Amino acid sequence: MAILKILTYPEKSLLQPSVKVDTEDGAAFDDDIKKLIDDMGETMFDAPGVGLAAPQADINKRIIVYDSNATNPDNDGSIQEFTALINPAIITASGSIISEKEACLSVLDYSADVKRYEKVTVRALNIEGKKLEFDADGILAIIMQHEIDHLDGILFIDRISVLKRTIYKKKLAKKLKDQ
């Protein structure tokens, strides 16, 4: 396994929609996809984060990984297991919740409150090519929305007020200029 480089805003490729993984009738995925997924999981935990989308690692494919224990308040980080979703999509969403101090491995030194759906239903394939459909709420719903947004070329800063986004962009531009 290898640690992948995580792209950071304002990298333009983060704003591009990702391409679906060719699944050929749900067949199992090849060794390259499995290696990519393992590398993404290792990278996510190394960062550290609770989710990572392939575009963040400069891979234009609809693949995400997330910490399988992110919803477990008893996990102190010692259990590192991840779940991979191939071609995930939110098929239903309901309710409203504020994701407090949401942050992103690709948006450095910034967090904000983001309005999200409280519950989502996700459809995807697992690493064996098996079709999945599950309901998520709470932190898992937020992770699903955040990571699937990446696959659509959307960053969490695109979901905050124009004023807050402008302030962040100005601070980032100054920081990049000073480097």
Residue found under tokens 């070329």: 153
The confidence score (pLDDT) of residue 22 equals 86
The confidence score (pLDDT) of residue 27 equals 57
7 lies in a domain?
A: no
164 lies in a domain?
A: yes
The confidence score (pLDDT) of residue 176 equals 84
Indicate the burial class of 102 (C-beta count within 10 angstroms; 0-12, 13-18, 19 or more): buried
* Whole-number Å distance between alpha carbons of 46 and 40: 10
Amino acid at 151: L
| Number of domains observed in the structure of the chain | 1
- 147 as an active site residue: the answer is yes
pLDDT, tens only, 15-73: 999 999 987 755 567 888 999 999 999 999 999 999 999 999 999 999 999 999 888 77
Nearest to 29 by CA among 79, 80, 63, 76: 63
Q: Residue 18 belongs to a domain with what CATH number? A: 3.90.45.10
Amino acid at 29: F
| SS percent in the chain: helix, strand, coil, step 5 | 35, 30, 35
45 lies in a domain?
A: yes
What is the extent of the structural domain holding 34?
Answer: 12-178
3 lies in a domain?
A: no
pLDDT, tens only, 79-137: 789 999 999 999 999 999 999 999 999 999 999 999 999 999 999 999 988 999 999 99
6 lies in a domain?
A: no
Candidate list 11, 81, 133, 147, residue with the active-site label? 147
